[in-house]
Amino acid sequence: MNLDIYKNLNRGIESTYINLNPIQRGGVLTAEARKAALEFADGYSVCDFCFESRVDLVQNPPVRNLTADIAEFLNMDDVRFTAGCRHAKWAAMHMVTEPGETLVLDSLAHYTSYLAAEANQLKVVEVPHSGYPEFIIDPEGYAEKFEEVERNTGSLPAMALLTHVDYRYGNVADAAAVGKICKEYGVPFLLNTAYSSGIMPIDGKKLGVDFLCASGHKSWAASSPMGILATTFEWNQQVFDKSTIRGDWSGRGFTKKEVALFGCSPVFGVPVMTLMASFPSVVERVKHWDEEVENARYLATQLERIEGFHQMGVKPTEHTLVAFESLPLFEAAAKTKKRGYFLYHELKKRKIIGIQPGMSKSFKLNTFGLSRKQIEYVADAFIEIARKYKIPVEDET
């Protein structure tokens, strides 16, 4: 065992680098969160003054307040923290569905949505997207699939899941329309806001959401793993149902503990405290979402000046996560020694990181939280690389 490899650990990335990683932009900590991470780094740091045996009820630090404030912020009624958005999805499905039932979900859903269904022994039926180049989810697809499931199984699906913003194209789905259809059919509606709440304004009631899951480390400037499961008063008793198991010999019971959270969600340190420390900034930053989208659109326009570069998904983009196809880059890559890795290396030379190495036919990036100046720098870098590899670039209009 060579223990030296675990010494002096570092990311190998300087903090001055511009990181475009699509999953990372919304999870970059605020300065306040960085301080909190250090202060609460010890394992059970939030439990110093726990008198109520559940982390969401701790009053010092003010986790109980945070729970209520996040419910208000999302316009939902009740909130719990989970070890990541994936656990929130599993929990909602676990408490609301039965094995063998059907989940209808969009075909752009994250793998953790499928896996949560799988761990709950649910069948999945997908709502199609419109395919290349827009990949749009038509809300009407939910009504069609509900009826198809009812025809085939004799009952409506146990739950519908919509990915509010998908991780592939950054399309913003029409959640309100899906919410309306779910209400009409009486199908419980789970909205995955991993790429929306925390960076853009969300009103759960307006969207007709029964369960809303969110990702702290993706979009609330929190350390991983941090998830949020929000629900309504109609559902909170069922979803946050308490333990009824009893020791047959001891008679022990745990009636304050919540089953789907494995009793008490184990985020009682850095995850919840970074979420808390960042929360004031998060409340503020969602008000500036329009500016963020403007920045992303600016970058898309600049990159499309490069021949063969096309923004995929809905145009102009409605989100800061943007995907591009870039075939000329792929052709150029074939001629280089580093093959598909050359874009990664060319960008890194320019102190830009976060584009998946090996990608060049297409790639995606996220501009959230970058200044216009940084985005201009990124645009210039891409254009410079294109020119270096003899890919034509249109003049600015």
Q: List residues forming the annotated binding site.
A: 192, 215-217
**309-368 binders of a copy of itself (CB under 8 A):** 353-354, 357-358
Closer residue to a copy of itself in complex, CB, 179/225: 225
Residue 66 token pair: 């945070």
Tabulate helix, strand, coil % of the chain (nearest 5).
40, 15, 45
Of 277, 299, 379, 385, which one interacts with a copy of itself (CB under 8 A)? 277
Of 318, 255, 317, the C-alpha closest to 54 is 255
Using the minimum distance from each CB to a copy of itself, give the nearer residue, 3 or 132. Answer: 3
Q: Is 373 in the site for a copy of itself (CB under 8 A)?
A: no
Restricting to residues 226-255, name those near a copy of itself by CB under 8 A.
Answer: 226-227, 243-245, 247-250, 252, 254
Pick the binder of a copy of itself from 43, 238, 335, 387 (CB under 8 A).
43
Instruction: Name the binding residues for pyridoxal 5'-phosphate.
Output: 192, 215-217
**Residues numbered 76-95 forming contacts with a copy of itself, rule: CB under 8 A:** 83-84, 86-87, 90, 94
Q: How far apart are CA 131 and CA 303, in angstroms?
A: 22
Long-range CB contacts (< 8 A, 24+ apart) of 119-127? 119/90, 120/90, 120/93, 120/94, 122/93, 122/97, 122/158, 122/159, 125/149, 125/157
Q: Which of 97, 112, 193, 326 binds a copy of itself (CB under 8 A)?
A: 112
Alpha helices, DSSP H, located in the chain:
31-39, 63-73, 85-96, 111-119, 140-153, 175-185, 216-219, 236-239, 270-285, 289-303, 327-335, 342-349, 372-388
Task: Say whether residue 273 binds a copy of itself (CB under 8 A).
Answer: yes
Is residue 199 within 8 A of residue 285, CB to CB? The reply is yes
**Number of residues forming the site for a copy of itself (CB under 8 A):** 105
CA pair distance 53, 148, nearest whole angstrom? 45
Cβ neighbours for 381, distance < 8 A, ≥ 6 positions apart: 347, 350, 352
- Which of 193, 223, 311, 360 touches a copy of itself by CB under 8 A? 223
Q: Taking CB under 8 A as the rule, does residue 31 contact a copy of itself?
A: no
Question: With 0-12 CB in 10 A as exposed, 13-18 as middle and 19+ as buried, what is 17?
Answer: middle
Considering the rule CB under 8 A, would residue 10 count as an interface residue with a copy of itself? yes
| Phi, psi dihedrals of residue 117, rounded to the nearest 5° | -65, -45
154 binds a copy of itself (CB under 8 A): no
Residue from 139, 157, 266, 328 in contact with a copy of itself (CB under 8 A) = 266
Looking at 9-17, 298-306, 311-319, 388-396, which segment touches a copy of itself (CB under 8 A)?
9-17
Task: Name residues contacting a copy of itself, limited to 168-197 (CB under 8 A).
Answer: none
State yes or no: residue 376 binds a copy of itself (CB under 8 A).
Answer: no
Using CB under 8 A as the binding rule, whether residue 159 contacts a copy of itself is answered as no
Task: Please choose, out of 20-28, 200-208, 299-307, 361-369, the segment that lies near a copy of itself by the rule CB under 8 A.
Answer: 20-28
